[in-house]
Amino acid sequence: MNFNSTANDVISVSSLNRMVRDLLESGLPPMWIGGEISNLTLAASGHAYFSLKDAGAQIRCVMFRHKLSLLPFRLAEGMQVELKGLVTLYEARGDYQINVDTMRSAGLGRLYEAFEKLKNRLNAEGLFDAARKRPLPVHPAAIGIVTSPAAAALRDVVTTLRRRMPTIPVILYPAPVQGESAARQIASAIEQASQRQEVDVLIVCRGGGSIEDLWSFNEEIVARAVAACRIPIVSGVGHETDFTICDFVADRRAPTPTAAAELVSPNQEQLRQQLEQGKRGLERALGRLLVDKSQRLDYLARRLSHPGDTMRRQSLSLQQAQSRLQRGLDNLFARRRFSLQLANSRLQRHQPQLTQQQDQLKQLGRQLQRNIRQLLQHRQQNLQQLAVTLEAMNPEAVLSRGYAIVQKRDGQAVKSPQELLNQERVLLRLAEGVTEAVIDHPQGAQPELPF
């Protein structure tokens, strides 16, 4: 780039700042820089503005919201940090600054490396899988808390639980939340709660702090205890921007201990409102039902008449029916009398000759007797012929002449030798009784019975 210029080569301030920005961004790669945070401002937009200084100099820095939200700790005034970013220029004010991509507490590089290493290993084992996460009980009978009795987080959790649902018992499983043996005692408290099965849900919590303060909840022994616990666990460790291994393994992660208490406890005010809404709905439904039934009762009452009125109407109807019946009977008797008179006059005109009819009746009687005798004789002859034929066909008569009937064991008569197997037992029915016989075919004529 040629910086030689003449009087006519005048550039604007914006052009100058743009040139400086391009030089900085192209000439200096992203690098790690260490120092102390000062003049920290957390804007409403979620961005962080601060200065990074050492004993002899300082530089302005900006960390935008989407980068800031990924930090495992909260920025604080005076914090010693190591950050990585791009050195650039904010053209509008001409401020030389660093756009920060990531950040870590100074000297904690090894802790972050250990955190990421354990996180990746447990994730590969499936301890973070959503499929193994258990739902939280909607109305727990008892709630357990694993934290230090002296922790401010315990007071926040208990206060929230008492405010939301004071009737739920709370059981504390005490354990220190930081220090050399804290991880082992936290894991022991979780295992103790899992074995006792006294509670329906367990809160593992502590307040915010630095990564060193929260490191007990990044230990593998705690992660294994959370994964093995038979009770659903809510992790409420640190503040909203703090993330621990315990958060990833737990069934639910709460941004704060207070939020954890709100997750596991029903809200009595909401329940009262729901109950009141249900009560009002029931009252409205019952009111509508009563109105409907009252209208129905009024309708039926209008249809229901006095028994005296009903009897009078029925008496009047009975009298009218009796009058109609009497008129009908009188008309019927009159028609019958007229018909009888008409028939009598016809009978008088067609009076039969009784003597002639009697003679004819006698002749018919005699002829009937002759026909009956002839029919009986004919039927007797037929019967005799049938008796002779039946006697001739009677198998008993055949048997009396020395013949026999061959039957199988089921009583079926045998008509052909082919129906019998060799050595098969058969019945011989004779004139004076029944005996058995064994079939002996000529060899090869019939297959033998299987034995």
The answer to whether 67 and 102 have CB atoms below 8 angstroms apart is yes
Residue-by-residue DSSP string for 203-222: EEEE----TTTTGGGGSHHH
Same domain membership, residue 279 and residue 236: no
Does residue 363 sit within a domain?
Answer: no
Query: Tens place of pLDDT for every residue, the chain, 451 residues?
Result: 555 555 567 888 888 888 888 888 788 888 889 888 888 899 999 899 999 998 889 999 999 999 998 887 788 877 888 899 999 888 888 888 999 999 887 755 567 778 888 999 999 999 999 999 999 999 999 999 999 998 889 999 999 999 999 999 999 999 999 888 999 999 999 999 999 999 999 999 998 877 778 889 999 999 999 999 999 999 999 888 778 999 999 999 999 999 999 999 998 888 888 888 888 889 888 888 888 888 888 778 777 767 777 788 888 888 888 889 888 888 888 888 888 888 888 877 776 667 777 888 888 888 888 889 889 888 888 888 888 888 777 777 677 777 788 888 887 888 888 888 888 888 888 877 888 888 887 765 555 555 4
Q: In this structure, what token pair is assigned to residue 423?
A: 């050595």
Instruction: Determine the residue type at 376.
Output: L
Q: How far apart are CA 151 and CA 380, in angstroms?
A: 127
Domain count, the chain: 4
CATH number of residue 34's parent domain: 2.40.50.140
* Residue 239, domain extent: 134-266
| CA quadruple 73, 76, 81, 82: dihedral sign | positive
Q: Which amino acid is present at 296? A: R
Same domain, 144 and 250: yes
What does residue 431 show for φ and ψ, rounded to 5 degrees?
-65, -30
Q: 415: helix, coil or strand?
A: coil
| Gap between the Cα atoms of 271 and 363, Å rounded | 113
User: Within this chain, do residues 259 and 157 fall inside the same structural domain, yes or no?
Assistant: yes
Tokens describing residue 397: 């008569």
The answer to whether residues 67 and 179 belong to one domain is no
In a shared domain, residues 256 and 295: no
In a domain, 161, yes or no: yes
Is there a domain that residue 322 lies in?
Answer: no
> What DSSP designation does 417 have?
G
In this structure, are residues 143 and 200 in contact, taking their beta carbons and an 8 Å threshold? Answer: yes
Angle at 72 between CA 67 and CA 74, to 5 degrees: 80
- Strand 95-105 relative to strand 143-147, pairing: unpaired
3-state secondary structure of 230: coil
CA angle 92, 90, 6 (to 5 degrees): 70
Q: Global pTM?
A: 0.46
Closest CA to 115 of 209, 208, 190, 220: 220
Nearest partner of 249 among 142, 125, 140, judged by Cα = 125
134 CB-near residues (< 8 Å, 6+ apart):
232, 251
221 assigned to some structural domain: yes
